[in-house]
Amino acid sequence: MSAAAAEWIATYAEQQLKERDRFSLLLSGGNTPKELYSLLATERYRDRIDWQRVHIFFGDERFVPFEDDRNNGKMAYDHLLRIVSIPPLQYHYISTKDDEQEAAEKYEQLLREYFRNSSATFDLALLGMGNDAHTLSLFPHSPAIHEENRWVVPSRAPEEPVHRITLTAPIVNLSGCVLFLVAGKSKAKALHEVLEGKLNPELYPSQLITRNHRDVHLFTDRDAMQLVTNHT
């Protein structure tokens, strides 16, 4: 799964960079993308992607210091960013040094400034899906699910670390392309409901993206797909 996703991402980035000066990539946190990031950092993809023109953003952040291994920015740095040749000023981390509301406002300001002359946002948004069908830090029954105007808001998770900062569905749905990476038997029910269940983003927040974005690509393994009946 990770190898197929790495190949697809490299090809897509190559194509996009033939047509534009820079490529904006939204990264996901958690455990699932670690192998993907490590693959993208290998010589095979370091040479194919012009990392000097890539700008990195983050879909959400656990409100812990950067030095904490649970921090999504640190995970991406350890597995990818420190290895490829992206200029450090092109890593756009979500700060956890301010209070949550201030951190959300600052990141939204950064995003609106970066995309100020564009009708779209990220060239590619990498997303994951939790056992409860959450994506980003948009959890079932979270007020952030209903956000229609703000791009970045504080959020609460049902597990530690509870305090989060998350992008919202409106900014992700303005991205050029979305790639979901979903793995493991524990995700099977969530993936089935998101893809084939009734529309209910209050319970299955990933539907905010899968049912509204025009260009969604799903990379998964057999365990996660075992309850999905339509494999096309």
Strand 54-58 relative to strand 152-156: parallel, antiparallel, unpaired?
A: unpaired
In a domain, residue 73? The reply is yes
pLDDT of residue 212 exceeding 70, the answer is: yes
In a domain, residue 68? The reply is yes
In a domain, residue 69? The reply is yes
Structure tokens at 48: 């194919």
Largest CA distance in the chain: 46
In a domain, residue 83? The reply is yes
pLDDT digits (tens, 9 = 90+) for 17-65: 999 999 999 999 989 999 999 999 999 998 899 999 999 999 999 999 9
Which of the two residues, 98 and 163, has the higher pLDDT score? 163
pLDDT of residue 9 exceeding 90, the answer is: yes
In a domain, residue 222? The reply is no
- How many Cα atoms sit within 13 Å of 60 on the Cβ side? 30
In a domain, residue 220? The reply is no
In a domain, residue 163? The reply is yes
Domain region containing 151: 2-123+136-181
pLDDT of residue 98: 82
Average pLDDT, the chain: 96
Structure tokens at 134: 């959450």
Structure tokens at 79: 């597995």
pTM: 0.96
In a domain, residue 193? The reply is no
pLDDT digits (tens, 9 = 90+) for 121-144: 999 999 999 999 999 999 999 999
Segment (H or E) for 165: strand 163-167
> CATH code at 33?
3.40.50.1360
pLDDT of residue 46: 87
Q: What percentage of the chain's residues is helix, strand, coil (to nearest 5)?
A: 40, 20, 45
Asked if 122 contacts 175 with a C-beta cutoff of 8 angstroms, the reply is: yes
What is the count of structural domains for the chain?
Answer: 1
